A and B are shown apart, each in its own frame.
Chain A
Amino acid sequence: MEFDHNFFVGFAKSYGLFYMMAFFFGAVIYAYWPSNQEKFDHAAKSILEEDKVVQK
């Protein structure tokens, strides 16, 4: 198999759609996976918990 211009254009025009959609669904599934919810909530709130002030 030759890795020339035609090969890459052919790949992009055939499998391109599928690997891109797979990537997109992968990201969406990760973001909406129910057990990840807790981790994300914790992360979103964690940056605000630093506000408490202590006396030295």
Chain B
Amino acid sequence: MISQLTRDERSSAMYLSGLLVLFGGFLAIAGRNDVLGWHGAMLVFSGAILLFALISRFYDDEPARESRHEYYDDPTKFGVVVAMIWLVFATFVGDWVAWLLVFPEATFDAGWSSFGRLRPVHTTGVIFGFGGNALIATSFHVLQRTSRARLAGSVSPWVVLIGFNLFCIMAVTGYMFGITASKEYAEPEWYADLFLVVIWVVYFVLYVRTLARRQEPHIYVANWYFMAFILVVAILHIINNLAVPVSLGHAKSYSLFSGVQDAMTQWWYGHNAVAFFLTSGFLGMLYYYLPRRAGRPIYSYRMSIISFWGITFLYMWAGSHHLHYTALPHWVQNLGMTFSIILVVPSWASAGNALLTLNGAWEKVRDDATLRFMFVAAVFYGLSTFEGSFMAIRPVNSLSHYTDWTVGHVHAGALGWVAMITFGAFYTLVPMLWNRERMYSSRLIEAHFWLALSGTVIYVFSMWNSGIIQGLMWRAYAENGTLAYSFMDSVDAMAPYYVARAVGGFLFFLGGVIGLYNIWKTIKMPAQAHTPIYDLPPVVDVEPAE
């Protein structure tokens, strides 16, 4: 990593690491025994390690000037491996949480392992740790290839990746210490949120500056999806996390919003996190890696543009469907419901576009588990967006809300769509990145595919069953007009489905372990003798003449 930086870049990296130490030091001193202080100490420690590494290798040889004419893939390589590590860690925690619902005593009497703390560790770990690193890594790769230009900076990609991972680590350790901002998918406290804002702005500026260097006149559609992901997540993150800390030395803060406004802001954020973190960026992945792997251009480029604007525009209004039958005004609920239903059109346009691209190449889908991952992802994308629109209809929501059906729906999207498209993209990307002829083992990809698919299907089916039974039990009345079942009755009735869900989750986790092993063994394989041309952008002097 450091060997690829010039001496000037090494010194600016040192300044930035010094800043990290100072920022961490401020938090550590101001926070003292508060969790804030521990997180400050962690940042000091991380900054010091970076500084030490940079100082000890400062006078190493600089990279050859020609290497500046190549794409910059070290950050992507780092992101891919780190994403897979997050996947294994966070799906392990997820399966643990699933077993907690079967055996509540499996917390081993510790505070940090209680359900309420481990669950956000799982959600943050999979969404931000795995999903976020996968998005950053693939966006850097796709951006450079489709622009035919090198990243506009050698230090800033590392600021993004290392900073983002420090944020994720602050988040998950914070939950285990017991701090939370009590906002779904936005649990980290104010100091971590501010830290992420800086990282995210660096990410967006880097993206736009690289696009400005492009050698292609037209910006390929995948870049639009990635840019929407970066820009909108910044807006969502900043607005939803507006808060006033108790003091600069304390982790606790209070949201700027209260009551139903707070709920509406939170679910405007929450549903758009699904839209722009878990959909838009991954569609960017789909529009690049699926045509590449299939060897066919996207079926309709026009349709990809229209569905881009459809998804970007419609999702913004859909969040209120999370608040049906609450204090939220009725017309706002109707608005969210209506937009949620219309959303199925651009969503299916994207899923259909992907499947029509594969139409005529089914033998490749049959033979190639990598392409099959992306095929299954498109199918699950179509299914879960239809299901989501359906569940957003208020009377349907009266049955499904607060039940496991919602959990099943989320996992159909997260496992079936987000994770599957990422695996397909990674298995396409890894041999390209490390210049290997192919992945280490195609049989292991096959094993991963079937574990992931069967795990997802078992998970989703058991949650459909438990969710609908829960919903029906909660609304069943006895002859004398009282509720027929107590809440505990419905909990007892869930036991077999919870066991099935935890088994499905375990299969999915196992697939992730195999994937990480396969990627690791591929990295250890000898490189090919020749370099594919896609590893070289057209020759232009990217640096000003000296």
Question: Is the C-beta of B360 less than 8 angstroms from some C-beta in chain A?
Answer: no
Which one of B201-209, B305-313, B452-460, B486-494 is at the A interface?
A: B305-313
A39 touches B297 (CB 8 A): no
Shortest beta-carbon distance from A11 to chain B in Å: 14
Cβ of B146: which chain A residues have Cβ within 8 Å of it? Answer: 46-47
Residues of the B chain whose Cβ atoms lie less than 8 Å from the Cβ of A42: 218
Which of A47, A52, A53 counts the most B-chain CB atoms under 10 A from its CB? A47
Contact across chains for A44 and B291 when beta carbons are under 8 A apart: yes
B221 at the binding interface (Cβ < 8 Å): yes
Q: Is B532 interfacial (CB-CB < 8 Å)?
A: yes
In the assembly, what is the distance between CA of A52 and CA of B309, in Å?
Answer: 33
Q: Which residues of A lie under 8 Å from residue B145 when comparing CB positions?
A: 47, 50
Chain A nearest CB, measured from B353 CB (Å): 11
Instruction: Tell me whether B97 is interfacial, beta carbon within 8 Å.
Output: no
**Inter-chain contact A39/B533, CB cutoff 8 Å:** no
Q: How far is the CA of A26 from the CA of B534 in the complex (A)?
A: 35
Contact (Cβ within 8 A) A39 B217: yes
Q: Which residues of A contact B529 (CB under 8 A)?
A: 56
Indicate whether A2 reaches chain B with its CB closer than 8 angstroms. no
Residues of chain A in range 11-35 having any CB-CB distance to chain B below 8 Å? 20, 23-24, 27-28, 30-32
A55 at the interface (CB under 8 A from B): yes
Please name all residues of chain A whose beta carbon is closer than 8 Å to the beta carbon of B463 when the two chains form the complex: none
The reply to whether the CB of A4 lies closer than 8 angstroms to some CB of chain B is no
Task: Report chain B residues within 8 Å CB of A24.
Answer: 309-310, 313
Contact residue range for chain B?
20 to 34
A50–B217 CA distance with the chains assembled, in angstroms:
17
Counting CB contacts under 8 A, is B61 at the interface? no
In the complex, the chain A residue whose C-beta lies closest to that of B217 is A39
A23 to B531, CA, bound (A): 45
Q: For the complex, give the distance between the alpha carbons of A51 and B218 in Å.
A: 20
Q: Chain B contacts of A41 at CB under 8 A?
A: 297, 301
> What 1/0 mask marks residues of chain B from 514 to 546 whose CB sits below 8 Å from any chain A CB?
000000000000000111111000000000000
Contact of B220 with A39 in the complex, beta carbons under 8 Å: no
Q: Please determine whether B217 and A54 come into contact, CB atoms closer than 8 angstroms.
A: no
Is A7 an interface position by the 8 A CB rule?
no
Which residues on the B side are within 8 Å of A23 (C-beta)? Answer: 309, 313
Does chain A have a CB within 8 A of B366? no
Q: How many residues in A have their beta carbons less than 8 Å from beta carbons of B?
A: 25
Is the CB of B302 closer than 8 A to any CB of chain A?
yes
- Closest Cβ–Cβ distance, residue A45 to chain B (whole Å): 5
A27 to B305 alpha-carbon distance, docked (Å): 8
Q: Which residues of A contact B296 (CB under 8 A)?
A: 48
Which of chain B's residues have a CB closer than 8 A to the CB of A43? 216, 218, 220-221, 301
* Interface positions of B from 61 to 85, Cβ below 8 Å from A: none
Cβ contact of B292, chosen from A31, A48, A54, cutoff 8 A:
A48
Query: Distance in Å from the Cβ of B77 to the closest Cβ of chain A?
Result: 18
The residue that B532 contacts in the complex, of A27, A30, A53, with Cβ under 8 A, is: A53
Given A31-B306, A47-B291, the answer on whether A56 and B531 have CB atoms closer than 8 Å is yes
Give complex CA distance A39, B219 in Å: 10
- Do B220 and A46 touch across chains, with their CB atoms under 8 A apart? yes
B116 close to chain A: CB less than 8 A: no
Min C-beta distance of B137 to chain A, whole Å: 18
- Whether A31 pairs with B531 at a CB distance below 8 angstroms is no
Contacts of A56 in B (CB 8 A): 529-531
B 268-322 contacts with A by CB, 8 A: 288, 291-292, 295-298, 301-303, 305-306, 309-310, 313
B306 partner, pick from A27, A45, A48, beta carbons under 8 A:
A27
Give residues in A with beta carbon < 8 Å to B.
20, 23-24, 27-28, 30-32, 39-48, 50-56
Q: Which 9 A-B pairs have the closest CB atoms?
A: A50-B534, A44-B297, A27-B309, A40-B301, A31-B302, A44-B301, A31-B305, A43-B218, A53-B532
Q: Can you sample 14 A-B contacts with CB below 8 Å?
A: A23-B309, A24-B309, A30-B305, A31-B302, A43-B301, A44-B297, A47-B292, A48-B291, A48-B292, A50-B532, A53-B532, A54-B533, A56-B529, A56-B531
B→A interface (CB under 8 Å): 145-146, 216-218, 220-221, 288, 291-292, 295-298, 301-303, 305-306, 309-310, 313, 529-534
Given A50-B532, A55-B530, 20 other A-B residues pairs in contact with their CB atoms under 8 A? A23-B313, A24-B310, A24-B313, A27-B310, A30-B305, A31-B302, A39-B218, A41-B297, A43-B221, A44-B291, A44-B297, A44-B298, A46-B216, A47-B288, A48-B291, A50-B533, A50-B534, A51-B534, A54-B532, A56-B529
